[in-house]
Amino acid sequence: MLIQILIIQLLFGSSQTVNKTFNLFTYNMPVKQVEIFLENYLIQLSNIIAHMLVQNFNTVNETNASYLCNVKFLSDRKLEKLKNNLIWNTLIKNCIERPRSIYESRYKVWGFYQEGLNCQYIYACRSNELQMLSSMQILITFLLEVQDFFVPKIKSTIFLIGQIIIYAGQNLLNQIMRTSLEILRRSSNFKKQSNSL
């Protein structure tokens, strides 16, 4: 979808379709839109290429021969660990982050900043993509709905219980202090009376 918008922006400039779909900038800033979409496209494309390269290397010797490997990954174990991390991140992205973004009607867009790469979220209507989710991804959206329903209520209940515990603890400490001060006062009075006799 973002690539389609980028191509439309590059060919036709600011279009009503883009402005209705994305609530990103005002009408006089289509250049900024194109810049953000182009940066995102370049970053995503480089991620795909790097992922394919790493997955196609079987041994460290192949990566060393092509000078694509960082010094950190000069052992087969480290290379396999990198591959496993890539697989895990892809799984998390496809099974959790993608349905969440669709359900929340937003896109994660990467860009170049002075500090390095940074992401931001842009709003986009993605209702039609909800029907294309798998059953696992629909389960994730259901769990998000359950979380939205229960978590605020649980937080407020825990906050209320915490306030009750603090109030009861303060009252208990006040009672203990009063009782101990009363005992000290009585014992000092008793000593004074016994000394006077």
Report CA 152 to chain centroid distance, whole Å. Answer: 18
What is the C-alpha R_g of the chain? Answer: 31
136: β partners: none
Please tell me the predicted confidence (pLDDT) of residue 128. 86
The residue with tokens 């929340």 is 104
The predicted structure's pLDDT at residue 50: 81
Residue ranges of domains in the chain: 2-133, 149-197
Q: Taking the model in full, what pTM does it have?
A: 0.61
**Residue 73 and residue 63: Cα distance in Å, rounded?**
9
* The predicted structure's pLDDT at residue 123: 86
**Predicted confidence (pLDDT) at residue 23 exceeds the cutoff of 60:** no
Q: What is the pLDDT of residue 60?
A: 63
Give per-residue pLDDT as tens, 133-184.
999 999 999 999 999 999 999 999 999 999 999 999 999 999 999 999 988 8
Amino acid identity, position 1: M
